[in-house]
Amino acid sequence: MSESPLSLSPYEVLGVAASVSDDELRKAFRKALRETHPDTGGDPKRFTAVQLAWERIGSPEKRAAYDAGRGVRGDNPTFTAQPARPRQDTRPKPRSYGHPGGWRRERFLSQMREWVGRGVTLGDPYDPALLRTAPREIRHTLADALAEEATARILSTLGIGYTVWHDVATGAPEDKIDHIVLGPTGLVALLSEDFGGPVRVRKNELIGEAVAGERPMHELAIRAKVISRQLRVRFSALIIVLPDDALDEPIAFLGSVRGAAAAAVRQSVLAGVLRNGLPGAQPIGGNELFDVRTRLVGGIRFV
């Protein structure tokens, strides 16, 4: 079960209210097991989700801890108030500019204050018990902030031959590019997304119930075009980074968009894709790489 703020609660997975008795909860678990078991024609993914839900609230002690907002597994908090720091590594890092996830963290806190109401003490805005009651829009903002921070940790491992910019402005703050990466395999614009569910590809775009009519690749292409015109650079690839369980395959190709290779990729394969290059993406080398970096360093603005 994903740890995203958009994930279904264990109660929702089991199809019961959070107020049911322990006996009713146990009956719901057994019913859900029967209905989702692969041997009886059930969905294997739902079957696994039911088992994981029971692991989280299957005993009075675990249920009490979950309801109180303590960890998902053990005593670790469900969501961290501060971005996780990359592990210490003595290898040279890529040059990095901007604050990954910073704008969305601030927006999340603003949304939470507005939702709770003026004059009301907010307390811990990352309290899991509070987050479960927040509107989906607010939880989605936090989910995307966490996704951006996770991508930034991956990008920090690319090595000294790469340069990375985070939270790049292209107009209104919400129209930003989450990350721009420049290296020998090309100039790449990335969005880090967490829709809280699986996605599919159709006609060069991501679709699915969780996407809710959004057009993320279309939006990324528009934003990349702004940077291309302003700084006179050409993007080699456009990539949407997703949680591993959102895609059925490591890389979902979306064809070519405005001359750039386009794809959605799992977080776990992102570093390899950027080091090896996305198929169809135009690499950059020599003086051109230096020239593009100079233009970006001098021209990029942040939200």
pTM for this predicted structure: 0.83
d(CA 29, CA 287): 62
* Strand, coil or helix: 217: helix
CB neighbour list of residue 62: distance below 8 Å, 6 or more residues apart: 55, 56
- Residue 69: predicted pLDDT: 67
Continuous segment of H or E residues that includes residue 254 = strand 251-257
**CATH code 1.10.287.110 region(s) in the chain:** 10-67
Torsion of CA 8, 14, 16, 22, to 10 degrees: -120
* pLDDT higher at 124 or 302: 302
Pair of tokens at residue 187: 């100039």
Report yes or no: 199 and 207 within 8 Å, Cβ to Cβ: yes
Tally Cβ neighbours within 10 Å of residue 63.
17
Nearest CA among 5, 22, 10 for reference residue 50: 10
H-state helical runs in the chain: 10-14, 22-36, 44-57, 60-67, 102-116, 128-131, 136-155, 216-231, 270-276, 286-299
β-pairing, 95-97 with 163-168?
Answer: parallel
Region 241-263: mean pLDDT is: 94
- CATH of region 10-67: 1.10.287.110
Report yes or no: 180 and 164 within 8 Å, Cβ to Cβ: yes
- Residue 73: predicted pLDDT: 35
- Position 71 confidence tier, pLDDT thresholds 50, 70, 90: very low
- Residue 85: predicted pLDDT: 53
Nearest CA among 157, 156, 82 for reference residue 126: 82
Q: DSSP string of 81-140? A: SSPPPPPP--SPPPEEES-TTHHHHHHHHHHHHHHH-TTS----TT-HHHHTTS-HHHHH
Tally Cβ neighbours within 10 Å of residue 142.
26
pLDDT digits (tens, 9 = 90+) for 193-239: 999 989 999 989 999 998 988 999 999 999 999 999 999 999 999 99
Phi, psi of 254 (to 5 degrees): -115, 25
- Residue 97: predicted pLDDT: 97
pLDDT digits (tens, 9 = 90+) for 130-149: 888 899 999 999 999 999 99
Report yes or no: 198 and 247 within 8 Å, Cβ to Cβ: yes
The separation between the first and the last C-alpha atoms of the chain, rounded to the nearest angstrom, is 33
- Residue 88: predicted pLDDT: 59
d(CA 262, CA 220): 10
